[in-house]
Amino acid sequence: MTTESTATQTTRAWVDIDLGALVRNGAALQRHAGVPLVPMIKADAYGLGAVACARALLALQPHGFGVATVAEALELREAGIRQRIYVFSPLLPLDFAAARQAGVVPTLGDPAAIAAWVAGGAGAWHLAIDTGMHRAGIRWDAVGALADLVRESPPEGAFTHFHSAERNDGSWELQERRFRDALAALPERPVLLHAQNSAGIVRRSPSPWSFVRPGVFLYGVDSGDGAQLHPEPVVHVRARVLELHDLQDGDTVSYGASWRAVGARRVATLGIGYADGYRRSLGNKGPALLNGERTTVSGVVTMDMTMIDVTDIPCAAGDVVTLIGRDGDALITVEEVAMYADFMSPYEVLTGLRQRLPRRYHERVV
């Protein structure tokens, strides 16, 4: 299935998404972990499109999907996704009616919220246990105090989340010990236990738990130094050359004139800018691939346009430039772009791609 390009989709800039690579990344994680996946498709699948990614990932028969909000779950339900959906941000009781209607599984840690959920009727929920991140869930050493509440209405599952699974700093082992201590403090062991994000899966196999919760690896981002398993690229950001400009010695490019031609130079203007999510901080640094050659952004990125140096690259208006992803044998990774963008998080690069860039879905991107 290749969504055919229409004129409006590819005149300027767009994102090619390789659903085949997405599914292969998921399959690799599943083989490694030895348990089913709950793909994290929150934030519109990290910007790639939650419905398209969910549909593709159904090929792996996932245990369910993970999102961050009830609205995200509703979007999947409206698209016909019948699988389990977990909401991995704490829900307030004012969201409970909508959550029940969407048939989602909330992840709760606050005793008052748990009491309100179980008072509202049947409906599976998972206990969020905070083992050191201090973002969501009940503290591991306070779980015993929930005994009465959970004896009445036991959670179907319990889980924790690692704050530094991509590092070998001992924090992960400490969190896992705390998780096991907290589980031992419950009157009954919940049926479903889960803990691992992408880095946790890559670094620990087989999984000792019921399922795993990968996000960023599915979308083609690596899990840091020393990882044994590497994803295929999934996201390819393209922009077309709109105009070419021949510059003379001393001419400058873009706002602030931060780039100055030394001798005769040629720059190409691309139809992409920071309002598309191509960060302004990539000015004078961002890498680009064009007709098999690698070059760099010239001057600052503007709202709708970005210039690159094409002095040594034969090209014409209409040619397609790759700013993230693969062009032939060459590759610009999300991590590389994040690093050039003043050491941003690769997660932020992906979720920052704006809707002005149409997403085009492919079984295979070559």
Q: Enumerate the active-site residues.
A: 42, 255
CB of 78 to ligand PLP, least distance (A): 22
CB of 198 to ligand PLP, least distance (A): 3
Which of the stretches 70-78, 214-222, 316-324, 334-342 binds ligand PLP when contact is defined by CB under 6 A? 214-222
216 binds ligand PLP (CB under 6 A): yes
25 binds ligand PLP (CB under 6 A): no
CB of 136 to ligand PLP, least distance (A): 8
341 binds ligand PLP (CB under 6 A): no
CB of 233 to ligand PLP, least distance (A): 16
Pairwise CA distance, residues 174 & 172, whole Å = 5
**Torsion angle (degrees, nearest 10) of CA 73, 77, 82, 84:** 10
Distance of CA 343 to the CA centre of its chain: 17
Distances (CA, A) of 338 to 10, 92, 96, 178, 219: 24, 34, 37, 33, 15
In sequence order, which residues have a C-beta less than 8 Å from that of residue 46 and are 6 or more positions away? 215, 216, 219, 347, 350, 351
**Spatial contact of 221 and 334, defined as CB atoms under 8 Å apart:** yes
Which of the stretches 4-12, 207-215, 251-259, 287-295 binds ligand PLP when contact is defined by CB under 6 A? 207-215
29 binds ligand PLP (CB under 6 A): no
Tokens, residue 350:
């992906």
Distances (CA, A) of 217 to 16, 21, 36, 55, 65: 17, 11, 15, 17, 15
Query: Segment 124-153, which members bind ligand PLP (CB under 6 A)?
Result: none
215 binds ligand PLP (CB under 6 A): yes
Which of these, 280, 244, 282, lies nearest to 265 by C-alpha position?
244
213 binds ligand PLP (CB under 6 A): yes
40 binds ligand PLP (CB under 6 A): yes
Pairwise CA distance, residues 4 & 265, whole Å = 36
Angle separating helix axes 70-78 and 50-57, nearest 10 degrees: 60
Of all residues in the shown chain, the one whose CB is closest to ligand PLP is 215
Phi, psi values for residue 41, rounded to 5°: -120, 30
User: Please, how many CA atoms are within 13 Å of residue 340, restricted to the half-sphere of its CB?
Assistant: 21
Which of the stretches 70-78, 210-218, 231-239, 309-317 binds ligand PLP when contact is defined by CB under 6 A? 210-218
209 binds ligand PLP (CB under 6 A): no
Q: Which residue has the tokens 């245990």?
A: 63
Which of the stretches 25-33, 180-188, 211-219, 303-311 binds ligand PLP when contact is defined by CB under 6 A? 211-219
Using the minimum distance from each CB to ligand PLP, give the nearer residue, 218 or 288.
Answer: 218
Which of the stretches 15-23, 57-65, 110-118, 208-216 binds ligand PLP when contact is defined by CB under 6 A? 208-216
The site that binds ligand PLP (CB under 6 A) totals a number of residues, namely 11
Query: Segment 63-122, which members bind ligand PLP (CB under 6 A)?
Result: 88
Using the minimum distance from each CB to ligand PLP, give the nearer residue, 281 or 345.
Answer: 345
Pairwise CA distance, residues 154 & 364, whole Å = 45
Residues that bind ligand PLP (CB under 6 A): 40, 42, 88, 161, 197-198, 213-217
